[in-house]
Structure 1
């Protein structure tokens, strides 16, 4: 069957590769660069810059301890140059991977016309269509918003802004604040509600006090106007500096309007098989809303592809692990199906432990923090907030145990690697079991 995939971000790229591996005829269409927002404007760019800020943070710590004497000369221009050079290598690799399973990759802006897709003035027929066009930064209706930056502008900056006002209070806002505060900017974060409400209160407190202590966070504050070199808050306060919008994302669903049913927020409406209101049209990734995370987009793309190839598959959003890329990673997961009373749950929290990436933080008392909420009656994990150099992998494997509904007694035979900064096993094996 002829399959067309529009969009080569995590959902479209993995979906098209899955179709190719299943022996299907696949054409992948990409408007700009292969690999989508993640590689070109999003999480990979954030991770690349955070690698630099971790080095700066460690250098500062070692200088303070007195056993290294060094002064860093950071070139933002050179950092950007090398990020772009790396992106070009990864784009070539991603295209080669897709073509290696027999897929055709076309660059151009697609249009859906009935049972056809038009790209570069060429009409392509399809038996199945996967729309994976992603999302773009949401710009709120604020006077002067055209002066604000978004994640799309990070690699267009000539230098580190002297002063930066980040509008938004979620994960992206925290990651951008961490990067530019470490690089030397004076940073304000302006959140219209709470900052990092995804985290537990103690975890959030640790982030503010230990990881981004130089960032000024203003909660329950709105921006009324943006200027080229300052922002004005709703209480009349003027904050000098460049504005940066981290206010969420809006789906690139215009291509699907009038073709399939959309939700009220303009995301594409899909079922658990990633099927739209039209039987042979599927959608996956950020354009469908929900968890806007690369691993989730990949999962959705693969699910859609298998159904397109007549291998019945359903997606599940149970216990999705998430992380903040900061100078020390912050990862978390919650069993959203569980609503425990105070009598049914127990919480154990301890500081982070020594190990790779954390040993030299013992002297300053900021090795990390871990908090696990347990379901006392069923002997299961209900929620984890973990701050440590290894939290991304630690929480990922524990989220798997949660999804598979393992009893924690099954964890008793787990054998950790030493040295490690995984505090989770210490809580589970030594303090809970």
Structure 2
């Protein structure tokens, strides 16, 4: 059978674009890609990139304050969202154009359209046109989830916060995951009065327990009003703002309410189940180690598969797919020891196991230290950084590394190389410290605390 394309990709995010580019430029495939919104996907348009730019912006309030202790006569006049926002969106436009240009330069045909599946080899575009392909890759990502309750339609999500015309004076952020905590810190740093509700006992569920407690205290110390074991009962739009009725009885009005209570795979309405593609309980596309679905001609990568929902992982999955199907080499995406960062303030960088995970299958030693860094102590701040290594007591391998500090996202990238290579605690110890830095603590912790 003759097909219009060798590969049709649904979704123009990081994973889909990487797969399309590699299949076309290195695999010699005839490739098309459909994107219904904007090229770049969640990361570039409404996730990692705009969020990180807002992280940078929000950090200057603290920098200006600390500058006074270092002898600088700097006066704050408040954050100007109206000045920042156009620069933010100009940068997103530039990146979107780069994504489009790079794909087209590789020979990829782009359809600015929603695409759904008619059968195992046929894609139907929004205008009714059908296109056939030997292989189809679904890379449609995920989307924020807001639970249904009275007044839930009043909530915004992380998708919307970048688009507001002006920053609210007050906001309630509901959720305790990394997105909720990041935006609590960002908006607090930009001068917004921030309240955060989380129904659990501690924020950042699933991460290392000691780290969770440490960051929770830092968030509260920074000025965020964090309420644990608390949830929203109902919301109503009133003249004074959005009235929120809370389970802890602390009912009040907010200018905005942002829900960051999880994300779900963006798999609905694509026709997947109708043609036999198996979906999981949360709507994730079930794939094997080669990213192949239950229908042999259809593959999926990225957040829509709900494996490890990080942009670099989606890129690796997309590249591995292209190498395997079009590059003549069998490549699996490596999901072991994937490092990550939570851009709270300060940041949290991690790789490997938490202490709780490691204790399940290993006899471990825990090396940890918390202290005031020189920079903050000089400025009169009480903030403490945290460094933590989890070590296998038998073979001495470092099973996990956790850093809570300014620049932890940068630090963990380098530490992750050592952990990925199987470095032992003694390898860390043999490394000479760089002084004076906070990172020297990684190689100077001599005695286990547990």
Does TM, normalized by the shorter one, top 0.5?
yes
| Unaligned stretches of 5+ residues in structure 1 | none
Shift of the alpha carbon at 1:325?
1.1
Shift of the alpha carbon at 1:181?
1.1
1:135 aligns with 2:152: no
Change (3 A) 1:342 1:129: closer
1:207 aligns with 2:224: no
Residue of 89, 95, 108 corresponding to 2:94? 89
Shift of the alpha carbon at 1:92?
1.1
Q: How does 1:147-226 map to 2 (within 5 A)?
A: 147-193=154-200, 194-213=202-221, 214-226=223-235
Corresponding residue for residue 306 of structure 2: 289
Residue of 250, 274, 293 corresponding to 1:237? 250
Aligned residues of 1:226 and 1:243 also touching (Cα < 8 A): no
Shift of the alpha carbon at 1:33?
0.6
Q: For structure 1, which segment, 29-38 or 344-353, has the greater mean C-alpha deviation from structure 2 after superposition?
A: 344-353
Shift of the alpha carbon at 1:67?
3.1
Shift of the alpha carbon at 1:140?
0.5
Residue of 306, 314, 317 corresponding to 2:323? 306
Corresponding residue for residue 390 of structure 2: 373
After superposition, what is the alpha-carbon deviation per residue over 1:220-258, rounded to whole angstroms, capped at 9, x for unaligned?
222111223121122443132121100111211121232
Corresponding residue for residue 349 of structure 2: 331
Corresponding residue for residue 42 of structure 1: 47
Corresponding residue for residue 4 of structure 1: 8
Q: For structure 1, which segment, 400-409 or 95-104, has the greater mean C-alpha deviation from structure 2 after superposition?
A: 400-409
User: Distance between the aligned counterparts of 2:295 and 2:259, measured in 1?
Assistant: 35
User: Distance between the aligned counterparts of 1:416 and 1:240, measured in 2?
Assistant: 51
1:118 aligns with 2:104: no
Aligned residues of 1:351 and 1:367 also touching (Cα < 8 A): yes
How many residue pairs match? The answer is 428
Give the TM-score, by structure 1 length: 0.91
Change (3 A) 1:415 1:39: farther
User: Distance between the aligned counterparts of 1:128 and 1:251, measured in 2?
Assistant: 21
Residue of 315, 318, 322 corresponding to 2:336? 318
Secondary structure of 1:159's counterpart equals coil
Shift of the alpha carbon at 1:350?
2.1
Change (3 A) 1:199 1:391: same
Aligned residues of 1:16 and 1:26 also touching (Cα < 8 A): yes
Aligned residues of 1:8 and 1:132 also touching (Cα < 8 A): yes
Change (3 A) 1:78 1:269: same
Change (3 A) 1:414 1:330: same
User: Distance between the aligned counterparts of 1:313 and 1:176, measured in 2?
Assistant: 36
Shift of the alpha carbon at 1:294?
1.0
Residue of 256, 259, 264 corresponding to 2:281? 264
Shift of the alpha carbon at 1:11?
1.2
Q: For structure 1, which segment, 160-169 or 418-427, has the greater mean C-alpha deviation from structure 2 after superposition?
A: 418-427
Aligned residues of 1:361 and 1:367 also touching (Cα < 8 A): no
Aligned residues of 1:329 and 1:391 also touching (Cα < 8 A): yes
Corresponding residue for residue 401 of structure 2: 384
Secondary structure of 2:162's counterpart equals helix
Residue of 7, 20, 30 corresponding to 2:24? 20
User: Distance between the aligned counterparts of 2:378 and 2:214, measured in 1?
Assistant: 15
Aligned residues of 2:13 and 2:40 also touching (Cα < 8 A): yes
Shift of the alpha carbon at 1:24?
1.8
Shift of the alpha carbon at 1:359?
2.8
User: Distance between the aligned counterparts of 2:45 and 2:95, measured in 1?
Assistant: 10
Shift of the alpha carbon at 1:100?
2.2
Q: For structure 1, which segment, 177-186 or 236-245, has the greater mean C-alpha deviation from structure 2 after superposition?
A: 236-245
1:79 aligns with 2:97: no
User: Distance between the aligned counterparts of 2:432 and 2:358, measured in 1?
Assistant: 31
Q: For structure 1, which segment, 306-315 or 122-131, has the greater mean C-alpha deviation from structure 2 after superposition?
A: 306-315
Corresponding residue for residue 395 of structure 1: 412
Q: For structure 1, which segment, 229-238 or 243-252, has the greater mean C-alpha deviation from structure 2 after superposition?
A: 229-238
After superposition, what is the alpha-carbon deviation per residue over 1:313-339, rounded to whole angstroms, capped at 9, x for unaligned?
222322221211133221122337964
Q: How does 1:355-374 map to 2 (within 5 A)?
A: 359-363=375-379, 364-366=381-383, 368-374=385-391
